[in-house]
C-alpha cells in the first residue's frame, strides 16, 4: 500500500511540475477539463519545486522496506 501511495504522490508532483514549467495540467488533459492553467510566477516556482521533489522521491519506490528499517 505504501508503494501505491508513493507512486500517486509522485504522479501528482510531476503533474505540478508540468503546471509550473509549462502551465499545462496533464491530469486535466487526460481526464477532461481545461488543461491550461494561468498562474503567477511565485505559484509556478512552488509548483516546480513540488515537482522536483517528486522526481527525487522516485528512488524511494525502489528501496527495500526491510533494508530501510535497519
Contact 37, 27 (CB under 8 A): no
Contact 35, 26 (CB under 8 A): yes
List pLDDT tens digits, range 24-38.
888 888 888 777 877
Q: Which of 3, 60, 48, 46 is nearest to 22 (CA)?
A: 48
Which residues of the chain have a pLDDT value below 50? none
Give residue 49's pLDDT. 92
Q: Which of 63, 56, 50 is nearest to 15 (CA)?
A: 50
Please give the share of the chain, as a percent, with pLDDT higher than 70: 91
Torsion over CA: 1, 26, 35, 13 (sign): positive
Amino acid at each position: 500500500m505504501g508503494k501505491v501511495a508513493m507512486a500517486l504522490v509522485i504522479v501528482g508532483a510531476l503533474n505540478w511540475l508540468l503546471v509550473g514549467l509549462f502551465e499545462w495540467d496533464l491530469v486535466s488533459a487526460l481526464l477532461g477539463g481545461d488543461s491550461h492553467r494561468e498562474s503567477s510566477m511565485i505559484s509556478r516556482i512552488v509548483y516546480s519545486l513540488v515537482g522536483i521533489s517528486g522526481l527525487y522521491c522516485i528512488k524511494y519506490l525502489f528501496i527495500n522496506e526491510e533494508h530501510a528499517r535497519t
